[in-house]
């Protein structure tokens, strides 16, 4: 299991280092870091407290354990004295924007600790300010807090590692499934008294089902809408490729199957898309 300090060292700190701002994070085992002077340069650290709010551990069987943690990350941000012409504090704005950007671009957890790889997803909330006040160490300051939720398994495969491309375009999806359906031929047991039968698979069909947000700049999204509306014909072949990480899993020619568009109130439109294998009509039957 990953401890809170290991999450801080292997995920939180590396993410914050990409901002190039002097963030320093401690847990309940840490302590406040004062400003550091090197010759004529003074570095004032932006201190943050990383703590656990909620946790759930579930045994899935076979020695596999699922972990779900909800944490909070709070920073004490000095307000400074550099408001712009609109009265906004530039340093505070810089910190807020840096926090928002840092975690929005790092939504996958992949760390190796004690020889074990932990893989999962990360979700976060935008930083929320507390009341501006005079506080010890930071004087005139704001506290910014964001929630970060981790869900992970040991040696797991994360959905974000799966890449699906159609005609060279990487498809944005909120959900996907790969399936294979068989057409069985049943053979009833001669001695059967309860109707039980064995089966033989005459053939099988591979399919991909996607839920994808409608996009005004995606060629595939436009093609799906045209297909649903009957503007374009059926049986338009498309080259579909599936990758896991950097490994090509399968590339094949497919066509759009059953598709639909869904919207509600002011929410964005989502397409439900089925991709099924294609064979040219003149080659059917032999």
Label residue 242 by pLDDT band (50, 70, 90). very high
Q: Are residues 111 and 182 in the same domain?
A: no
Q: Does residue 85 have a pLDDT over 50?
A: no
**Where does 91-246 show beta strands of DSSP type E?**
108-113, 116-124, 128-129, 133-135, 139-154, 162-166, 169-170, 175-188, 197-213, 238-244
Label residue 81 by pLDDT band (50, 70, 90). low
Label residue 282 by pLDDT band (50, 70, 90). low
Do the beta carbons of residue 257 and residue 208 sit within 8 Å?
no
Q: Are residues 164 and 151 in the same domain?
A: no
Q: What is the pLDDT of residue 264?
A: 93
Q: Are residues 150 and 25 in the same domain?
A: yes
Q: Are residues 144 and 9 in the same domain?
A: yes
Q: What is the pLDDT of residue 233?
A: 87
Residue that finishes a domain, picked among 107, 135, 156: 156
In 3D space, the residue among 115, 113, 170, 122 whose CA is nearest the CA of residue 147 turns out to be 122
Label residue 284 by pLDDT band (50, 70, 90). low
Average pLDDT estimate for 92-102 = 84
Q: Are residues 217 and 181 in the same domain?
A: yes
Those residues with Cβ within 8 angstroms of residue 185's Cβ, 6 or more apart along the chain or in another chain = 199, 200, 201, 202
pTM, rounded to two decimals: 0.76
Tokens standing for residue 138: 């930071």
Q: Does residue 257 have a pLDDT over 90?
A: yes
Question: Which CATH number is 175's domain given?
Answer: 2.40.30
Q: Are residues 114 and 204 in the same domain?
A: no
Q: What is the pLDDT of residue 84?
A: 55
Q: Are residues 107 and 235 in the same domain?
A: no
Cα–Cα distance measured from residue 193 to residue 175, given in angstroms and rounded to the nearest whole number: 43
Q: Are residues 152 and 164 in the same domain?
A: no
Of 3-7, 76-80, 264-268, the range with the lowest mean pLDDT is: 76-80
Average pLDDT estimate for 252-263 = 96
Between 187 and 117, name the one with better pLDDT.
117
Q: Are residues 14 and 88 in the same domain?
A: yes
Question: Which CATH number is 31's domain given?
Answer: 3.30.2000
Domain that holds residue 35: 4-156
Q: Does residue 34 have a pLDDT over 90?
A: no
Q: Does residue 279 have a pLDDT over 60?
A: yes
Count of domains observed in the chain: 2
Q: Are residues 133 and 243 in the same domain?
A: no
Q: Are residues 107 and 219 in the same domain?
A: no
Do the beta carbons of residue 203 and residue 187 sit within 8 Å?
no
Between 72 and 109, name the one with better pLDDT.
72
* CA-angle at 235, arms to 233 and 240, nearest 5°: 120
Between 82 and 229, name the one with better pLDDT.
229
- Predicted confidence (pLDDT) per residue in 167-224, tens digit: 999 999 999 999 999 988 876 555 666 767 778 888 899 999 999 999 999 999 999 9
Between 61 and 175, name the one with better pLDDT.
175
Q: Does residue 252 have a pLDDT over 70?
A: yes
Residue that finishes a domain, picked among 138, 156, 174: 156
3-class state of residue 96 by DSSP = helix
Residue that finishes a domain, picked among 114, 130, 156: 156
Q: Are residues 46 and 78 in the same domain?
A: yes
Percent of the chain whose pLDDT exceeds 90: 40
Average pLDDT estimate for 62-84 = 81
């Amino acid at each position: 299991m990953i401890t809170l300090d290991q999450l801080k060292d292997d995920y939180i700190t590396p993410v914050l280092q990409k901002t190039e701002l002097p963030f320093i994070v401690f847990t309940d085992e840490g302590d406040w870091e004062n400003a550091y002077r090197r010759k004529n340069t003074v570095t004032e650290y932006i201190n943050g407290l990383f703590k656990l709010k909620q946790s759930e551990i579930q045994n899935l069987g076979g020695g596999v354990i699922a972990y779900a943690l909800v944490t909070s990350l709070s920073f004490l941000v000095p307000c400074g004295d550099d408001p712009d012409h609109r009265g906004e504090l530039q340093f505070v704005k810089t910190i807020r924007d840096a926090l928002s950007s840092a975690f929005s671009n790092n939504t996958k957890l992949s760390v190796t600790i004690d020889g074990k790889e932990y893989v999962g997803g990360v979700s976060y909330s935008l930083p929320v300010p507390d009341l501006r006040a005079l506080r010890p160490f930071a004087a005139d300051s704001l506290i910014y807090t964001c929630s970060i939720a981790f869900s992970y398994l040991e040696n797991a495969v994360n959905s974000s590692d799966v890449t699906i491309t159609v005609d060279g375009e990487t498809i944005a999806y909120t959900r996907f499934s790969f399936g294979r359906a068989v057409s069985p031929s049943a053979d009833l047991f001669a001695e059967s008294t309860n109707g039980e039968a064995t089966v033989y698979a005459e053939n099988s069909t591979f399919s991909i089902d996607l839920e994808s947000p409608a996009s005004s700049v995606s060629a595939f999204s436009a093609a799906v809408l045209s297909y649903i509306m009957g503007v374009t014909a059926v049986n338009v072949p498309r080259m579909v490729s599936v990758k896991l990480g950097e490994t090509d899993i399968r590339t094949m020619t497919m066509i759009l199957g059953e598709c639909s568009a869904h919207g509600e109130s002011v929410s964005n439109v989502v397409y439900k898309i089925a991709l099924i294998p294609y064979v040219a009509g003149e080659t059917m039957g032999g």
